[in-house]
Amino acid sequence: MGIVLGPNRYGKAETRLVRVVRDGETHHLKDLNVSVALSGEMTEVHLSGDNAAVLPTDTQKNTVFALARKHGIGSAEAFALLLARHFVTARPTVHRAVVTVEEYAWDRVPVTGHSFVRRGQEVRTARVLHEAGRTHVVSGLRDLTVLNSTASEFRGFVRDEYTTLAETGDRVLATDVRAEWRHRDADGDWESSYAETRRILLETFAGTYSRSLQQTLYTMGRRVLEERPELCEVRLAMPNKHHFAVDLEPFGLDNPGEIFFAADRPYGLIEGAVLRDDAPAADEEVWS
């Protein structure tokens, strides 16, 4: 039968790499999504299952982390060139490498040298419930992605027979803030209220030494209510976007809190409301 193998390639897609460079109190962040696609002498693996020419995609992922530690990440292009050349040069069975890098831009939150907010993806929200005799206004935002590259620990938690998590005195804390805040009244300066509340949320995330994301959440909500008298309740939902320090020891490299794997799931989801004890009751429907 005239059936042949056509064009093919393979590789590790979407390795989420975060590099933190610590220059004293000032940290620098690179956040990349790296995809590798290799092709070459891959007929046998398809036809007979002989893997002799196959560089595992797992190895490709490790290479992304190891070369980031060894050579740094000057720019997306430079890092892609480094990887592509490595795979083709180091592996005779690989003839072509296509390396695709997405870089996510972060701005500094000026409160500290280690706090960042991801550029340009947040959404502002507003919800009004109105019926005879009452009106509720809830403002909010979602997908405000923030990261502290230090000043976060997680220790002293419950341990049972299924616990493997190590205690940590210094970790990356990152989350997509989903926040909604309820106004006491149906009139106000919505623009300045929004801008100030967003600023307080951001600055409190940045400026709070965190013993848990729960503590950070409560502190953010509390600070908003302390500073914004027009508001009576804040609800927050914050995924704990885990950043795992990559073990580079098998490759003869140390990792002094520099190279992280940014996992997208599963994630811890921390949710909570913070309210004044005299907040007027509101229907659940005002919240999303």
Which stretches of the chain bind ligand URC, using CB under 6 A?
154, 165, 212-214, 240, 268
Q: Which CB sits closer to ligand URC, 60 or 152? A: 152
Look up 197 and say whether it is catalytic.
no
Whether the CB-CB separation of 216 and 272 falls below 8 Å is answered with no
Look up 241 and say whether it is catalytic.
no
- Annotated binding residue 222: no
Candidate list 28, 57, 125, 219, residue with the active-site label = 57
Whether the CB-CB separation of 237 and 194 falls below 8 Å is answered with no
Q: How far is the CB of 236 from ligand URC (least distance, A)?
A: 13
Q: How far is the CB of 168 from ligand URC (least distance, A)?
A: 9
CA dihedral (139, 104, 116, 71) in degrees, to 10, reads 170
- Annotated binding residue 214: yes
Look up 12 and say whether it is catalytic.
yes
Q: Which CB sits closer to ligand URC, 94 or 213? A: 213
Q: What are phi and psi of 256, to 5 degrees?
A: -80, 65
Q: How far is the CB of 2 from ligand URC (least distance, A)?
A: 56
> In terms of C-beta distances under 8 Å and separation of at least 24 residues, what long-range contacts does 276-282 make, across chains too?
276/225, 276/232, 276/233, 278/232, 279/182, 279/232, 279/233, 280/184, 280/232, 282/129, 282/136, 282/182, 282/233
- Annotated binding residue 116: no
Closest residue by Cα to residue 288 from 263, 271, 267: 271
CA distance 288 to 283: 11
Q: How far is the CB of 215 from ligand URC (least distance, A)?
A: 8
What does the DSSP 8-state code read for residue 267? -
Closest residue by Cα to residue 56 from 102, 93, 5: 93
Candidate list 30, 114, 136, 242, residue with the active-site label = 242
- Annotated binding residue 240: yes
Candidate list 12, 30, 114, 241, residue with the active-site label = 12
- Annotated binding residue 260: no
Q: Which CB sits closer to ligand URC, 63 or 204? A: 204
As given in the structure block, the two tokens for residue 152 are: 């976060």
Q: How far is the CB of 173 from ligand URC (least distance, A)?
A: 7
- Annotated binding residue 57: yes
Catalytic residues: 12, 57, 242
| Residues annotated in a binding site for urate | 57-58, 154, 171, 214, 240
| Residues annotated in a binding site | 57-58, 154, 171, 214, 240
| Residues annotated in a binding site for 5-hydroxyisourate | 57, 154, 171, 214, 240
